[in-house]
Structure 1
Amino acid sequence: MTRTHWAAVTAVVLALLFAGAATVASAGDGTTAADRTPTGASADAGFARDMSVHHQQAVEMSFVVRERTENDEVRRLAYDIANTQANQRGMMLGWLDLWGLPKLDADAEPMDWMSAGADGASGHSGHGGGHEAGDGDGDGPLMPGMATKAEVEQLSRLSGKQAEILYLQLMIIHHNGGIAMAKGCVDRCEVRVERDLAQGMVDAQASEVELMVNMLRKRGAQPRT
């Protein structure tokens, strides 16, 4: 098993540990108890499920690029993204456990929660289309900003400056999609602690996008349009 595979396995284990910690912490801090427990069709549950999938791909791409370059700046950024998003993913999975909701809902289209009303009723919003449940690896329609399986495979074949450029380009798109999703939760989610987390994602990822654009320019490249 390669170091990349071990790193990916480690990320999954860390996410599960964070999920358990988040479940205990949320139960003890009183924030969730003060909010109405979300339903499976709510924006709260939909965001937690979809963003968990979205974050997992960012973690995986970050571990890939750390194996494909020796550049300290890129490796440090990739580590920060992987660590932060594995942590946040664990929190969201922990909330789903706390709410007694499944982590995957085969009957729900990705991003349907973006059009959900206050009662959780939803019509298909057309945001993102379908994806393979739970892994985000399909080449069909994906959630906003997610890379295709072919793009991730291309990243794993590159090295050095080429890998750095593709990673930064893919991650800028990934972050911008994540920002749009997080803003949707800020507007629609009812659980305060989840809205706070979503706003934190908006702020942090917007700052990282600016950083990555500058890193691309230093390498004579531009973000993909």
Structure 2
Amino acid sequence: MASVIAAIFFVRERPPASDSPEAGFARDMQVHHAQAVEMSLIVRDKSDDPEVRALAYDIATSQQQQIGQMAAWLQLWDLPASSEQPQMSWMRGAEGDGQPMQMPTDGRMPGLASPEQLDQLRQAKPGQGEALFLELMIEHHKAGAAMARAAYVRTDEPAVRSLSSAIVTSQMAEVRAMEGLLDSRRPATVDQER
């Protein structure tokens, strides 16, 4: 009897398929996170602002860890790291936050900075790139949270639900923090001075 119980306990359900929302989320969020890590390292290395540097470090380290976690899922599920399916195809008809997700017409994932915006960030001098970083990362995080919400409602895989929920919580908290940092760096208007 004990061996039957042990066998039942260790039998896994079939892992997600290569075209599943779980696999699509794991692949696409790795790409999305990789750009957040890249932008964060650019500004962390160039900025003299301790608040922005600390935020950039936190984003880079947490999202790099999550990239590793999602890559490990694909290995565990015996799935390839990439797919022939178009990016974001797992989200067709997605309404991760109750709103249809706007897909850029240039083929980029929602929230990704353009190559031109990344160049502007790289070329910005200390004191100038922080606001651009915050603006880009706010949009990046909002789109990442929408992707995570869409994954959450499309899966019953506990690890995917747990990470997608954590991504929504952390990224929306960081959005609020970044909006505060951005507001504190804008010049005061006449109404604000009164």
Q: TM-score, normalised by structure 2?
A: 0.83
Unaligned runs of 5+ in 1: 1-31, 118-124, 131-139
Q: Report the Cα offset of residue 193 of structure 1.
A: 1.1
Corresponding position of 2:103: 128
How many residue pairs match? The answer is: 174
Q: Which secondary structure does the structure 2 equivalent of 1:160 belong to? A: coil
Report if aligned partners of 2:43, 2:130 keep a CA contact under 8 Å in 1: yes
Shift of 1:166: 0.3
- Per the alignment, residue 6 of structure 1 pairs with none
Residue-by-residue CA offset, 1:23-60 (whole Å, 9 max, x unaligned): xxxxxxxxx96553000000000000000000000000
Q: Which residue of 2 aligns with 1:76?
A: 54
* Structure 2 CA distance for partners of 1:192 and 1:116, relative to 1, 3 Å: farther
Task: Give the 5 Å matches for 1:28-43.
Answer: 34-43=12-21
Q: TM-score, normalised by structure 1?
A: 0.72
Structure of higher CA gyration radius: 2
Change (3 A) 1:167 1:93: same
Identity level (%):
42
The code of the aligned residue for 1:87 comes to Q
CA positional deviation for 1:160: 2.1
CA distance in 2: counterparts of 1:164 and 1:69, whole angstroms:
7
Q: Is the 8 A contact 1:110 1:128 kept in 2?
A: no
Rounded Cα–Cα distance in structure 2 between residues aligned with 1:167 and 1:153? 12
Are positions 1:213 and 2:188 aligned together? no
Instruction: Report the CA distance shift for 1:53/1:218 in structure 2 as closer, same or farther (over 3 A).
Output: same
Kept in 1: contact 2:113–2:136 (CA 8 A): yes
Equivalence for 1:18 = none
Partner Cα separation in structure 1 for residue 38 and residue 147 of structure 2: 19
Q: Is the 8 A contact 1:93 1:103 kept in 2?
A: yes
How far does the alpha carbon of each residue in 1:69-118 deviate from its partner, in whole angstroms, 9 at most, with x for none? 1111000000000000000010000000111111111x21111101389x
Counterparts in 2 of 1:58-207, with a 5 A limit? 58-105=36-83, 107-115=84-92, 128=103, 140-207=106-173
| 1:55 has 2:33 as partner | yes
